[in-house]
Structure 1
Amino acid sequence: MKSTIAGTTMPVLEITLEPGERIIAEGGDVSWLTPEFDIETSTGFGSGGKGGFMSGLKRMVGGGQLFLTQYTAKAPGSFVAFAAQLPGTIRELVIDPADQFMVQSGSYMASTSDVEVSVGLQTKLGAGIFGGAGVVFQKLAGNGTAWVQLAGEITEYELQPGQSMLIHPGHLALYRAEMSLEFASIKGVKNKIFGDSLFLARLHGPGHVWLQSMTPAKLAAAIEPYLPDKSSSSSN
């Protein structure tokens, strides 16, 4: 199996497989592929070999899909490609019991068949954060390789024991699963929508963290003024 990440602002992940090799991805996310694949969809995929309908439900709680699609190569040189959904970057992660990760919901792209994709953290914050919908992270565990898409430019930090960092939840893209995370209302910083404080994530070291400069919410807010007015068009 060989992976290639090409492009700059809107990169593409291309994975080339040998006969019998397989990868898992969310249904509908594939961009293009060669015809030499067996394609199957199931709730049991993405469970690290544990399988079962409950694995799919846990994945849904984590913001993922109930069904995942498995691509099994039938001929040498078969490849499948996935394009990033937001301007940013694609990262490859090696997963094993010593290297497990928490990734913001919507960032998971694909993985090898023995990687478990499940809910890692779900919390509901104030009305000013994502409209009160809260923050959800998926956990990547098991053994294998996973690929994630992160928005905007990426800044990385290695937190030492005893170190912590306050982070806006939307900018917290990826962090090591063993790190402790909590949310707190920070007084003195006005929430720009509601309330007299801002909710921030407090991430504790030791461990590595990846922060993204763009958040989907801010991107949506930036382009919203340029979208057609549905209310005016429906009334005509």
Structure 2
Amino acid sequence: MKTRIEGTTMPVLELTLDTGEQIIAEGGDVSWLTLGFDIETSTGFGSRGKGGFMSGLKRMVGGGQLFLSQYTAAKPGCFIAFGARFPGTIRELTIDPSDNYMVQSGSFMASTSDVEVSVGLQKKLGVGIFGGAGVVFQKLAGNGSAWVQLAGEIVEYDLKEGESLLIHPGHLALYRAEMNLEFTTIKGVKNKFFGDSLFLAQLHGPGHVWLQSMTPAKLAAAIEPYLPDKSSNNS
């Protein structure tokens, strides 16, 4: 399998497969592909198809879809492409029993067939920029490769044993699954109008963390004034 990532602000992930190689993705995420793929839709892909419907429900809780599509190359040279959903960058992760990851919900793009995507963490933080929905992370486990999309520019830190970092939850894009994550409030700030800005994620080392300069919530807030006002529609 060959990986190519093209573009800068709105990158495209292109995967070229040999005969029999497989890629898993959520339905509707494919941007374009060549002829020569056998396509199957199921709830049980990932980790050798274990879990079935319950695996699909776990993905839904983690912000994903119930059904996944499996693309199998019927001949060499078939390629499939996934376009970015928002400005940012695409990263490839190698998954194995010692390398599991937690990625912010909505960032998963595609994976090889033995990678399992499930809900890893769900925390309700109240109202504010999260709209009461809280923060959700998906866990990537199993064996193989996975591709994730992170928003804006990416800053990485390698935390040592005993080191911790306070992070606005929206900027926490990706971290190693063995790291301990807690949520804390900013001491001395008691104004209820601050909403979710009272809460910070506290991530403890050892482990590696990827932080994103843009949050999907801030992107949505930035473009909201330019969207049509549905309340003024007289139809």
Does TM, scored on the shorter chain, surpass 0.5?
A: yes
Tell me how far apart the structure 1 counterparts of residues 227 and 192 of structure 2 sit (CA, whole Å): 23
User: 1:120·1:138 contact (CA, 8 Å) conserved in 2?
Assistant: yes
1:46 aligns with 2:37: no
Q: 2:115 is matched with which residue?
A: 115
User: 2:129·2:196 contact (CA, 8 Å) conserved in 1?
Assistant: no
What amino acid is aligned across from residue 215 of structure 2 in structure 1? Answer: T
Tell me how far apart the structure 2 counterparts of residues 48 and 101 of structure 1 sit (CA, whole Å): 18
Tell me how far apart the structure 1 counterparts of residues 71 and 121 of structure 2 sit (CA, whole Å): 28
Q: 1:68 is matched with which residue?
A: 68
The TM-score with structure 2 as length reference comes to 0.96
Secondary structure of the equivalent of 1:132? coil
The TM-score with structure 1 as length reference comes to 0.96
Task: Identify unmatched segments of 5+ residues in structure 1.
Answer: none
Q: 1:87 is matched with which residue?
A: 87
User: 2:116·2:141 contact (CA, 8 Å) conserved in 1?
Assistant: yes
Secondary structure of the equivalent of 1:75? coil
User: 2:170·2:215 contact (CA, 8 Å) conserved in 1?
Assistant: yes
User: 1:190·1:196 contact (CA, 8 Å) conserved in 2?
Assistant: no
Q: 1:32 is matched with which residue?
A: 32
Q: Over aligned residue pairs, what C-alpha RMSD do you find?
A: 1.6
Tell me how far apart the structure 2 counterparts of residues 78 and 124 of structure 1 sit (CA, whole Å): 42
Identical-residue share of aligned pairs (%): 83
Closer, same or farther: CA 197–210 of 1 in aligned 2, 3 Å: closer
Tell me how far apart the structure 2 counterparts of residues 21 and 96 of structure 1 sit (CA, whole Å): 18
User: 1:183·1:199 contact (CA, 8 Å) conserved in 2?
Assistant: yes
Deviation at 1:231, TM superposition (A): 0.6
Q: 2:105 is matched with which residue?
A: 105
Closer, same or farther: CA 95–196 of 1 in aligned 2, 3 Å: closer
Deviation at 1:129, TM superposition (A): 4.1
Deviation at 1:144, TM superposition (A): 0.1
User: 2:171·2:213 contact (CA, 8 Å) conserved in 1?
Assistant: yes
Q: Where in structure 1 do 4 or more consecutive aligned residues deviate above 6 Å? A: none
Deviation at 1:13, TM superposition (A): 0.2
1:227 aligns with 2:227: yes
Tell me how far apart the structure 2 counterparts of residues 190 and 149 of structure 1 sit (CA, whole Å): 35
Deviation at 1:127, TM superposition (A): 1.2
- With 43-52 and 192-201 compared, the bigger mean Cα shift is at 192-201
Closer, same or farther: CA 47–57 of 1 in aligned 2, 3 Å: farther
Tell me how far apart the structure 1 counterparts of residues 115 and 191 of structure 2 sit (CA, whole Å): 38
- With 53-62 and 171-180 compared, the bigger mean Cα shift is at 53-62
- With 95-104 and 127-136 compared, the bigger mean Cα shift is at 127-136
User: 2:126·2:196 contact (CA, 8 Å) conserved in 1?
Assistant: no
User: 1:127·1:194 contact (CA, 8 Å) conserved in 2?
Assistant: no
Task: Identify unmatched segments of 5+ residues in structure 2.
Answer: none
Deviation at 1:192, TM superposition (A): 8.3
What amino acid is aligned across from residue 52 of structure 2 in structure 1? Answer: G
Closer, same or farther: CA 178–30 of 1 in aligned 2, 3 Å: same
Secondary structure of the equivalent of 1:211? strand
